[in-house]
Amino acid sequence: MAIKIMLADDHKMIRAGLRALIEKQENMQVVAEASDGQTAVRLARKLAPDVVVMDVGMPDLNGIEATRQIVGLPHQPRVIGLSMYSDCKYVTQMLKAGASGYLLKNNAFEELVRAIETVMKKKTYLSSEISNTVVDEYRRIAQDKDGSAYALLTEREREILQQMAEGCSTKEIAGALGISDKTVETHRRNIMDKLNIFSVANLTKYAIKEGLTDL
């Protein structure tokens, strides 16, 4: 059975180009075209396409809002966002709305068929430029919100926490690291203050959770 596809873009020439590309595929069929977001939602509800190729910047109802409504339909079509822009705000908003893919218009003709096949397998497809954008944004957010031992503690504190979790005494830790007992105790207090954890048992659980030791 052919994959039913709807094209939603306010530029007729782009729709025509995408249709021509899709109609060369034996297992794909364009069942509808829409030039605005409201029409896209109405046709998706009526015709139940498997995949909707959605321009992000649509009139009447933008592609992000249209995507949110379309993926909520009972037959749950897959949406592939299509845009001239690789700006992170467009990408993340489309993905949050439920899109399964995102392509830039300048490479859509090369990648669209592959993207459709990918999302039909319930996987996500992002063009290479978009993948880089998403990874960069993830790293930025992760750095802002990172509450891991690797962000909160210094290298020396992590070493000491690991040895504490593994049952080493203050004297043993001091000897292993070549520092004084007093320095170990200072680090221990700093670790507890930074983590807001004040028992060895809970510090041990934390160290295991963070991958500092597996005991």
From the list 63, 72, 26, 27, the residue with the least C-alpha distance to 45 is: 72
In total, the chain counts a number of residues equal to 215
Any domain includes 119: yes
Tens of pLDDT, residue by residue over 42-59, are 999 999 999 999 999 899
CATH of residue 92's domain is: 3.40.50.2300
Any domain includes 215: no
Q: Provide the domain limits for residue 170.
A: 149-209
- Which pair of structure tokens corresponds to residue 78? 């897959």
Tens of pLDDT, residue by residue over 144-197, are 555 677 778 898 999 999 999 999 999 999 999 999 999 999 999 999 999 999
Largest CA-CA distance found in the chain, in angstroms, rounded: 77
CATH of residue 178's domain is: 1.10.10.10
Last residue of a domain, one of 87, 110, 142: 142
- The pTM of this model reads 0.67
